[in-house]
Amino acid sequence: MATGQVRAKRRLRRWVTSLLGAAAVLWLGYALFLRWTRIVPPADAVARAASLPKPGAVTVGSRTFVGDSWMSRERGIWEYHLQGEPLSLGYAHARLGTPLLVRTDEYMFSEMRRYVPSQVALFFMRLGVLLRYRGLLSSVPPDMQLEMTGLSLGQPELHADFLPLYHRIVFYHALHDITQTIEHSPLLGCTAFAAMRDATAQGDPATAGHLILGRNFDFEGPPIFDADKAVLFFRPSAPGKLAFASVAWTGMTGVVTGLNSAGIYASLNALRSDDKGTTGVPVELVLREIMESAHTLDEAIALVQSRPVFVPDLYLLGDGNLREAAVVERSPTRSIVRRSHDVLGVANHALSAEFQSDRESHRLRTELTSGARQARVDELLLEHRGHIDPKTALSILRDKRGVGGKKLGLGNRNALDALIATHSVVVDATARVLWIGQGPHALGRYIAFDLRRELADVPRPQEPLTAPGVTAGDASAVAMDGSGLVRDLPEDETLHSDDYRAFLDAEQALRSSDFLGQRGDIDRAIEQAQRAVSLQPMHSDARKRLADLLLQRSRPGSDDKPQAAEHYRRFLSLSPPYLRDIRDAEARLRTLPAPTTPP
C-alpha cells in the first residue's frame, strides 16, 4: 500500500475517533445537563406513593367517583369535588380528569409543533427553559409538591421523551410565569373589580353592603380552556387548612380565581414591570396558599407580600366578612397595597406612584388595552355606585363599549367583554356564592354555586334542590341565609343575535384570509377580508387586514391604493386597541392618495 494511502487512512481514523469522542462528550454533557435541571418528585412522596391506594374510577349516574372525590358536568360546567391528604387528592384529581388531561396535553403539544416546527429551534428553546427554571420547585411548599406528585401518578404518561410527566406538571403550573416575558402574552387582557358597603344595591336586603366582585379571565389560549372550564372544590384534610373553590381547568391545583370558606376572594391579573425575578413561587400556587390558609384580608395581603415571585402581577383580594378589598401591585422587588371600602377596578397596569416610572407598566397602559379597560371599568363603577348587585356586576363584565360609552365592534380588545374570556365570574364573597359563566366566554348563563353547600362535609345530593317559586329543573337555585334564593344569572342577549352570528362568520373569514395570505394567494385573501368587513363593518382588525392586503397587491391602474387609504381611515376611527397598529396605519396612510370611491 502506498505511503500516501496509509497516511490518509490514519487521518481518517483520527478524524472519526475525534468525531466520536466529541459526540460522546456532547452526549455526556447533555445527559448531565438534563440530570442537573431535572425536576423530580420529593423522595418521601415517591416512598409514600408505593403504598398509596390507587382506586379506579367508578361512574354512578352522571358522577364519577375515585374514593371520596367525584366529578360531574350536571350543570354545564365541569365540577370536581376533591378531598383528602395531598397525595391522594392529586391522584383522584388526575384519575377523574384523565380524558380532559390527555386531550389538553395532546393539544398543547400539537400547538407547540405548529408554532415551533423546527426541531432544532425547539431543542434550544427547551434547553433555555430548563436552565432558567431549574430551581422552580425550591420555593414550592411541600404539600403542593405532594399533590403534584399525585397528579403525575393518576394520569397516563404520553410525552416522556420531551420531559417526564412530573416535570411537565410543575412547568404547567408555572406557565403564567414563563409566558409573562413573552411580548404577546395570552394573559394580558384580564379585568376585575370589587364593590362593597355603600357602593352595593342598598335596596336589596339580600346583597346590600356585601362584597360583590366580578372578573373576566381573558386568556387568549386554546378554545378548550373556555369549552372545558372547571370549578374545583377542594377540601384538604390537613388540620387548619380551609376548603375553597377554584375556577380554572382540569389539572390546575393552583388558583387564578378563587373563594374560600372564610369568605376570602383572590384573583390574578398580569402586570409588567422593569424589575425581574430570579427565583420564586409560581403565582397560581401563591393564590392556592391564600385559599387554604387566609381567614382575613390582612393575612391574604401578608402572604402575597412575603412570597418571592418570578414575575409582576396584580392581586385582587377581598374579605367577605369585613366587606373590604385590596389590590396588591406586586413585582419581584416591590409590593404596594391599594385598599378600598367602596369600589376598586383593576386591569393590567399599576396605578400606584411607585410604579409610574416603569416603562413596561406604562406601555401596557398606553400601547396595549389596559388603559382603555381601566378607564371604562372606573366609569361603570362610578355610574352604578350605590346600585351594584350580582346582576349589575355581570352587566359590567359584559360591557362591550369603549370609554365614554363609545360603540365598538364586537371583539374589540378595548372592551371589558372582548369575547375572549375563558372564564367569567361574579362573586358575593359575603354570602359565599359564585356565579360562573357557562360560555362561550361571558355570553352564556351564569351558574350559581353556593359554597356553604358545595363545601359542606355531606356530599351535595344528586337531585336538584327545590324551593317555592323555583322549578324542579332549576337545579342551581339554592337558599342563601334564609333571605330569598340565589338563582342563575341569565344569558347575554348578544348570544342569539344576528350580530354575534355575523361576528363568528367574520372571524372565520379573517382566519381564512390570513391563511391564504401566508401562502401568497392575495386575491382570495382579499376576498375573505372583504367578506369579514361586509359582515362586521366595525371590526377594526378586518379593516386593517383588508387595507394591508390591498396595498400589498396595488396593481398598476387599479384603485387598490385609494381603497386601502379609505380602509385605513375607517380603521383609525374604530378605536383600534394596539398603538403599534395605529402607528403603522398612520405611516402607510401618509404615503397613499386620497380615495376615489368609498369601499
Domain boundaries defined on the chain:
44-72+87-175, 185-452+486-492, 498-589
Please, is 378 exposed, middle or buried when counting C-beta atoms within 10 Å of its C-beta (0-12, 13-18, 19+)? middle
pLDDT of residue 594: 66
Which of 35, 64, 67, 72 is CA-nearest to residue 54?
Answer: 67
Helix H or strand E encompassing 469 = none
Angstrom distance (rounded) from CA 475 to CA 487: 9
- pLDDT category, 463, cuts 50, 70, 90? very low
Q: How far apart are CA 373 and CA 348, in angstroms?
A: 9
CA 240 to chain centre: 29
**Cα separation values, 45 from 36, 37, 49, Å:** 20, 19, 6
Q: If you count DSSP H runs as helices and E runs as strands, how many of each does the chain have, helices first?
A: 20, 19
Contact (Cβ atoms closer than 8 angstroms) between residue 252 and residue 246: yes
* Residue 570 identity: R
Q: Which residues contact 302 (CB under 8 A, 6 or more apart)?
A: none
Q: How far apart are CA 438 and CA 228, in angstroms?
A: 9
Residue percentage of the chain with pLDDT more than 90: 66
Hey, how many other C-beta atoms are within 10 angstroms of the C-beta on 361?
Answer: 24
Please compute the mean of the pLDDT values over residues 332-350 and round it to a whole number: 96
Q: What is the pLDDT of residue 326?
A: 98
What was the pLDDT predicted at 146?
92
Q: What is the pLDDT of residue 38?
A: 82
57/524: higher pLDDT = 524
Between CA 249 and CA 224 the distance in angstroms is: 9
pLDDT for residue 541:
96
Q: Do domains 185-452+486-492 and 498-589 have the same CATH topology?
A: no
Q: What are the residues whose beta carbons fall under 8 Å from the beta carbon of 277, sequence distance 6 or more?
A: 308, 309, 310, 311, 331, 332, 333
Q: Would the pLDDT of 483 be above 70?
A: no
Fold of 185-452+486-492: Penicillin V Acylase; Chain A (3.60.60)
User: What's the pLDDT at 115?
Assistant: 67
Q: What is the pTM of this model?
A: 0.89
Bridge partners of residue 191, in order along the sequence: 216
Does the pLDDT value for residue 520 go beyond 90? Answer: yes
Q: Please, which residues have CB within 8 angstroms of residue 140's CB and are 6 or more apart in sequence? A: 170, 281, 282, 285
C-alpha distances in Å from residue 155, one per residue of 17, 96, 148, 247 = 44, 9, 11, 21
Assess contact for 243 and 321: CB atoms under 8 A: no
Domain 498-589, what fold?
Answer: 1.25.40
For residue 228, name the pLDDT band (cuts at 50, 70, 90): very high
Q: Is the pLDDT of residue 74 over 60?
A: yes
- Cβ–Cβ under 8 Å, residues 390 and 428: yes
Laid out side by side, the sheet with 257-260 consists of 58-60, 63-66, 69-72, 78-84, 229-236, 244-249, 257-260, 264-270, 313-319, 324-330, 335-340
The rounded distance, in Å, linking the Cα atoms of 42 and 411 is 45
Give the C-alpha separation, 575 to 570, whole Å. 10
Q: pLDDT at position 294, please?
A: 98
Mean pLDDT score, 101-124: 76
* Whether 251 contacts 103, CB under 8 Å: no
Residue 181's contacts (CB-CB under 8 Å, 6 or more residues apart) are: 311
Q: Do the beta carbons of residue 298 and residue 325 sit within 8 Å?
A: no
Distance from C-alpha of 398 to C-alpha of 492, rounded to nearest angstrom:
8
CA gap 62, 82 in Å, rounded: 16
Model confidence band, residue 466 (pLDDT cutoffs 50, 70, 90): very low
| Alpha helices (runs of H) in 353-414, residue ranges in sequence order | 359-366, 370-384, 390-397
**Cα→Cα distances 148→30, 172, 409, 429, Å:** 26, 11, 43, 28
The reported pLDDT for the residue numbered 474 is 37
DSSP β-bridge partners for residue 423: 217
State how far Cα 347 lies from the chain centre: 14
Please spell the DSSP secondary structure of 261-279, one letter per residue: TTSEEEEEEE---S---SS
Lowest-pLDDT range, 404-418, 456-470, 571-585?
Answer: 456-470
pLDDT at 595: 57
- Main-chain dihedrals φ then ψ at residue 12, nearest 5 degrees: -65, -45
Q: What is the CA radius of gyration of the chain?
A: 27
Q: Which amino acid is at 429?
A: A
How far, CA to CA in Å, does 288 sit from each of 16, 89, 144? 55, 14, 9
d(CA 51, CA 48): 6
Most trustworthy range by pLDDT among 121-135, 167-181, 375-389: 375-389
pLDDT(269) > 90: yes
Separation of alpha carbons 196 and 127, rounded Å: 48
Summary mean pLDDT of the chain: 88
Cell numbers given for 490: 341569565
For 198, phi and psi rounded to 5 degrees?
A: -70, -15
pLDDT confidence bin for 15, thresholds 50/70/90: confident
Pairing type for strands 229-236 and 78-84 reads parallel
Percentage of the chain exceeding pLDDT 70: 90
pLDDT at 182: 60
Q: What was the pLDDT predicted at 411?
A: 96
- Give 131-170 pLDDT, tens digit per residue: 877 878 888 888 999 999 999 999 888 877 788 889 989 8
Between 306 and 111, whose confidence is greater?
A: 306
| Pairwise CA distance, residues 227 & 199, whole Å | 34
pLDDT score of 205 more than 60: yes
Position with higher pLDDT, 278 vs 521: 521
Average pLDDT of the segment spanning 540-565: 94
Higher pLDDT, 189 or 526: 526
Residue 129 — pLDDT band, cuts 50, 70, 90?
confident
Q: For Cα atoms 83, 86, 89, give the angle at the middle one, nearest 5 degrees.
A: 40
